[in-house]
Amino acid sequence: MALHRLDVRGLLGGDRALRAALPRPVDEQDRSADLVASLIAEVRAGGDAALRRLTDRFDAVVLDDLRVSEAEVRSAGERVSEPLLGALVTAHQRIEAYHAYEATTARQGSEPYRSQGVTVHALVRPVARAGCYAPGGRARYPSTVLMCAVPARVAGVEEVVLCVPPGPDGRIDDATLAAAWVAGIDTVYRVGGAQAIAAMAYGTETIEPVEVIVGPGNRYVAEAKRQVSGVVGVASAFAGPSEVVVVAGPETPPPLAAIDLVVQAEHGPDGLAWLVTWSETVADAVGKEIERLVATSPRRADLEATLGAGGHAVVVDGPEQAMAVANVVAPEHLELLVDDAEALLPLVHAAGAVFLGAGSPASIGDYLAGPNHVLPTNRSARFASGLRVDDFLRHIHAVRVEPEALEALGPDVVTLAETEGLPAHAESVRRRLVR
Which whole number is the average pLDDT over 312-324? 96
Model pLDDT, residue 383: 87
- Percentage of the chain modeled with pLDDT above 90: 60
Is 31 within a domain?
Answer: no
CB within 8 Å of 301: residues ≥ 6 apart: none
Strand 212-214 relative to strand 233-234, pairing: parallel
Please tell me whether residues 409 and 274 are part of one structural domain.
Answer: yes
Residues whose CB falls within 8 Å of the CB of residue 351, separated by 6 or more in sequence, listed in order: 245, 326, 327, 330, 331, 332, 333, 334, 381, 396
Neighbours of 229 (CB within 10 A): 14
Last residue of a domain, one of 234, 251, 286: 234
Question: Do 222 and 264 have their domain in common?
Answer: no
The whole-number pLDDT of residue 405 equals: 82
User: For residue range 32-48, what is the model confidence (pLDDT) as tens digits?
Assistant: 788 899 999 999 999 99
**Which of 234, 261, 276 marks a domain boundary?**
234
- Whether 324 and 223 map to the same domain: the answer is no
> Are 394 and 292 members of one domain?
yes
**Are 170 and 316 contained in the same domain?**
no
Mean pLDDT of the chain: 88
Edge to edge, the sheet with strand 353-356 lists 4-7, 311-315, 272-277, 243-248, 333-337, 353-356, 397-399
At 219 the pLDDT is: 84
Residue 298: half-sphere exposure toward Cβ, Cα within 13 Å: 7
> 25 falls in which pLDDT band (50, 70, 90)?
low
| Nearest-5° Cα angle at 35, 34 to 40 | 100
Give residue 218's pLDDT band: very low, low, confident or very high (50, 70, 90): confident
In this predicted structure, the answer to whether residue 65 has a pLDDT above a threshold of 70 is yes
- Whole-number Å distance between alpha carbons of 284 and 380: 30
Do residues 60 and 189 both lie within one domain?
yes
Whether residue 186 sits in one domain with residue 248:
no
Q: Would 110 be classed as within a structural domain?
A: no
The dihedral built from the CA positions of residue 352, 368, 133 and 58, taken in this order, carries a sign that is: positive
Residue 121 parent element (H or E): none
- For the chain, the domain total comes to 2
Amino acid 396: pLDDT? 44
Under DSSP, the state recorded for 141 is -
**pLDDT category, 331, cuts 50, 70, 90?**
very high
pLDDT band at 118 (very low <50, low <70, confident <90, very high): very low
Residue 87 has pLDDT above 50, yes or no: yes
Q: Does 329 lie in the same domain as 197? A: no
* Element of type H or E holding 383: none
* Residues labelled as active-site residues: 332-333
Is residue 20 in some structural domain?
A: no
Q: What is the CATH number of the domain that holds 423?
A: 3.40.50.1980
Residues 96 and 191 placed together within one structural domain of the fold: yes
226 and 353 in a single domain? The answer is: no
Q: Is the model more confident about 140 or about 346? A: 346
Residue 360 and residue 285 in one domain: yes
Instruction: Tell me the residue range of the domain where 206 lies.
Output: 39-101+125-234
What are the b/e assignments for 364-383, b being 16+ CB within 10 Å?
A: bbbbbbbbbbbbbbbbbbbe
